[in-house]
Structure 1
């Protein structure tokens, strides 16, 4: 069954082209062209993925995302203007799964959508593995896709869950940004892409400090990130 995508973009011609292309790639696409209508459709829970442009009439894409995240965890791919790093970072901080700057190649969009789709499917798959990874007061149930800190459940996005799982599988070892991009985001890393750093920052905020106020996820300048030794 084709994954149903909601495309929210005020460029009617582009939306039509993308709908045709993604349909040929096996996706079912609905398109709306205003912010309020996009929010209403996204909240309905009828779509597996939302592709959301930042520049929209009636309500901009960031406001749509903020309102959507108050009630829904549906995966969101933001479309941003090329060179507008602020919108990209803010979107990721607000819970977007990924972003793509305009103009873009439709093949790249399809690849990003498939990567998000794989993570979303993993999150809803019937639990099989009862493997539990732990570090300090953190525990991650791989099959149930549940993370707990000190016994309390922590709500993570699919990206944050996969990121934490990767770090927990390599405690005390450096995980490069390239590895995170490939294994978590499903794409090659670009030196000018801040998305990995923002996802790590979001995860840190949700997990809070470790024992004694120590940082759980350490940055290794020029190399990547590692789960702190005291969290092992």
Structure 2
């Protein structure tokens, strides 16, 4: 990690957790609302407009952000729907789409498929969901938000708050229970339903500034062997 244009050795993760959250749609609205609230003031920032003014080739990106913010809501696909779309265009990919997950090229294709806009992927299969995600019959209440040019920007889920279900899930996934007993105790002695997510800040900056290399979103280099002391 840290040597490709898509990865950093260190990155900033913005994390949020909300209590009494039990509806997947409410979690998506929270994520979308945060992003729109962060991006909207940017359109009124003189420095941002000067940045684009001095790089005319990127003006279309600013116009695209304006269209993005005008969307009533981001499109939403289930994992199965997204997989079927990719399978129907399998010849376009280097990596064949499969139930084992979506690669970055699949994520970017899906964004293009909806007009170059962000989209949510929901209802993830068991094998692709962390142990703490809440079960919803045969799938889990996880959500990924894909953004054009960067792929996955946000990952989150509703959290399982029932101890017995957590223990079963951990055993199914061979997660060591002993080292996470503290997490189980939080639920065992009373816990509200919660949901939360993590957002990759540098990926958001990369999208906004339309830069090819994510390392250009940092104020100074943090790549291996680039800053010897």
Q: Same fold (TM over 0.5)?
A: no
Q: TM-score, normalised by structure 1?
A: 0.22
| Bigger RCO (CA 8 Å, 6+ sep) | 2
Flag the structure with larger Rg.
2
